Amino acid sequence: MEKSTDLVLDYFTEVSRIPRQSGQEAGVREWLKSWAAKHNFTFHADKVGNVVIEVPATPGHESAAPIALQGHMDMVCEKTPDSTHDFTRDPIIPRRDGDWLTADRTTLGADNGIGMALAMAAATAPDLSHGPMELLFTVDEETGLIGATEFQAELLTARTLINIDSDLEGVFTVGCAGGRNTEVELPVTYRKSAPTGVAVTISIAGLRGGHSGVNIAEVRGNANVLLARVVQRCIERYGASVASFSGGSAHNAIARDAEALIVIDESPDHALFLKEIAQEVSAWQETFRGELREAEPALTVTVKQSDRPELTFDEASSRKLVDLVLSLPHGVIRMSPVIAALVQTSTNLASVRTGPAAQGRSGTVNVLTSQRSLSMSELDAATGAVSAVARLAGAVASTNSSYPSWEPRTDSPLLARSVTTYRELFGREPVVDVIHAGLECGVIGSKVPGMDMISFGPTITGAHSPVERLHVPAVEKVWQFLCALTESLGS
């Protein structure tokens, strides 16, 4: 008997109304606490804010082994340049567009709000029979699996875990890459800009961006890298000095936009120069569109005159910055030698930020990169490559937010039960996969040896970007499957 998804979508709408940027999950945690109290569920929170909600078995299923339904509270907060959305206070209102749910020029937060909604619906659906369940909702997943890394494993009694944080219906994930962030701090020296200089802001925008694990093997542009190429040309042709350079946002998102403020000191005819650089920028736009072809049809490169800043980087610092950005590796490093079409190792040049000038006219530029690999030794090698480039540029590299890979279990009882259940429900075989993205299963499994795990979820496209969409028919199928699997495990 099919079960309605109305409860799932209602929970998703409620979750979406609560601001839950990574590191700012207090509001959604309090909402979960109130929800648990309303249903007489026991609520636990650990020192970093992860939550475990104990859901008793339905009558007659008390002797079944407990299972955990797991997802994360936070979301990636990305928006288009023209959006006025404030992720610290404004609700996200999901909008129906045919078979899809979207947001208004922002990320939707289906990653992982829909996972939370599915777990909560399973706990409260009146027609669902199940054994004891534990709902585990973690914090700070999107910034490097921080919540899972700090999770107090003794709060969890289940040794079977269903992670609802995958993004393609009909695919069961049974393994994932490990990852690490590497931050590069480049010291720069400032000087006074010439009173006769002309300042312009060059912007790269309109790129697709996307998830740095899921989409890294696709032909997508990185705004930081493209902008560095343009700025390098301006330094070589016009003797430009960089005043600021910023692009990208989250460590796990491919940079969609970037902009640099540059100053040209030697320009006796400002009008002529502005016309010339506009032509130069237009040519770069055609070049990039030609290189990226169908992958980036909305890519734009623009230039506008700006107020001249008091300070710019000196010549050496301007060159060091673009040399660093252009030299840091970005993209696929190696494909898997075992699994066809699977990325083994990659790195993402995620963001560049110019810090303020300090006394003595010194300052820093901060570059955030993230490395992923199915092999921990190759993860070390990729991190080492980023650190080596940083040293050559006179910068300092530091690593943080490391998390382990999740090695597949071919003898998993949970996988076998899941495959059988899916086949019986839908008359076809699910895809069993290993992904290049990081999942909390790897971290939780390292804390709870012997944990039997699987990850699945409804179809989400454009995750970590303002074009994120959730496929409603896929939610319906995942809900039917989750109900059948939960009932099977509780029998």
**Residue-wise pLDDT tens digits, 184-211:** 999 999 999 988 889 999 999 999 999 8
- Which residues are CB-neighbours of 410 under 8 A, at least 6 positions away? none
Q: Any idea what the CATH number is for the domain that residue 256 is in?
A: 3.30.70.360
pLDDT digits (tens, 9 = 90+) for 436-451: 988 899 999 999 989 9
Mean pLDDT of the chain: 94
Task: State what percent of residues in the chain have pLDDT above 90.
Answer: 86
The answer on 128 and 266 residing in a single domain is no
- pLDDT reported for residue 290: 96
How many Cα atoms occupy the beta-carbon half-sphere of 296 within 13 Å?
Answer: 29
3-state secondary structure (DSSP) of residue 436: coil
- pLDDT reported for residue 196: 86
- pLDDT reported for residue 232: 98
- pLDDT reported for residue 194: 87
The answer on 359 and 278 residing in a single domain is yes
3-state secondary structure (DSSP) of residue 23: coil
320 inside domain? yes
Number of domains comprising the chain: 2
278 inside domain? yes
Measuring CA to CA, which residue among 131, 136, 125 is closest to residue 162? 136
The answer on 252 and 130 residing in a single domain is no
The answer on 392 and 436 residing in a single domain is no
Average pLDDT over residues 61-87: 96
Q: 352, 380, 403: which is the final residue of a domain?
A: 403
The answer on 20 and 129 residing in a single domain is yes
- Token representation of residue 353: 């930020």
Q: 362, 388, 403: which is the final residue of a domain?
A: 403
Residue whose token pair is 């928006």: 79
d(CA 62, CA 65) in angstroms, rounded, equals 8
- Token representation of residue 388: 């080596």
d(CA 25, CA 445) in angstroms, rounded, equals 24
Query: Strands 331-335 and 171-176, how do they pair?
Result: unpaired
Per-residue pLDDT for 366 more than 50? yes
Average pLDDT over residues 310-316: 95
392 inside domain? yes
1 inside domain? no
d(CA 126, CA 366) in angstroms, rounded, equals 52
Would you place residue 1 in the very low, low, confident or very high pLDDT band (cuts 50, 70, 90)?
Answer: very low
The 8-class DSSP code of residue 245 comes to E
> Residue 213 phi/psi, 5° resolution?
-100, -50
pLDDT digits (tens, 9 = 90+) for 409-463: 889 999 999 999 999 999 999 999 999 988 899 999 999 989 999 999 999 999 8
Q: Which domain, by its residues, includes 304?
A: 179-403
Average pLDDT over residues 256-272: 87
Residue whose token pair is 């312009």: 200
CA-to-CA dists, residue 344 to 129, 210, 331, 337, 347, angstroms: 40, 18, 11, 8, 11
d(CA 439, CA 278) in angstroms, rounded, equals 44
Compute how many other C-beta atoms are within 10 angstroms of the C-beta atom of residue 302: 15
d(CA 188, CA 364) in angstroms, rounded, equals 5
Q: Any idea what the CATH number is for the domain that residue 65 is in?
A: 3.40.630.10
> Which helix or strand (DSSP H or E) is residue 368 part of?
strand 362-373
Range name among 88-97, 159-168, 258-267 with the lowest pLDDT average: 258-267
CA-to-CA dists, residue 216 to 220, 264, 436, angstroms: 8, 35, 9
- pLDDT reported for residue 269: 77
Per-residue pLDDT for 273 more than 60? yes
pLDDT digits (tens, 9 = 90+) for 164-191: 999 999 999 999 999 999 999 999 999 9
- pLDDT reported for residue 16: 98
Burial of 383 (0-12, 13-18, 19+ CB in 10 A): buried
Cα-based torsion angle of the residue sequence 168, 172, 178, 179 in order, rounded to the nearest 10 degrees: 10
The answer on 235 and 157 residing in a single domain is no
> Residue 358 phi/psi, 5° resolution?
-90, 180
- pLDDT reported for residue 207: 96
Q: Are 405 and 376 in contact (CB under 8 A)?
A: yes
480 inside domain? yes
CA-to-CA dists, residue 374 to 49, 89, 338, angstroms: 29, 38, 11
- pLDDT reported for residue 14: 98
Catalytic (active-site) positions: 74, 141
The answer on 215 and 158 residing in a single domain is no
d(CA 40, CA 229) in angstroms, rounded, equals 59
The answer on 183 and 290 residing in a single domain is yes
Measuring CA to CA, which residue among 244, 214, 169, 176 is closest to residue 425? 169
Per-residue pLDDT for 359 more than 70? no
The answer on 452 and 324 residing in a single domain is no
How many Cα atoms occupy the beta-carbon half-sphere of 442 within 13 Å?
Answer: 27
The answer on 443 and 379 residing in a single domain is no
Average pLDDT over residues 98-126: 97
Q: 379, 403, 427: which is the final residue of a domain?
A: 403
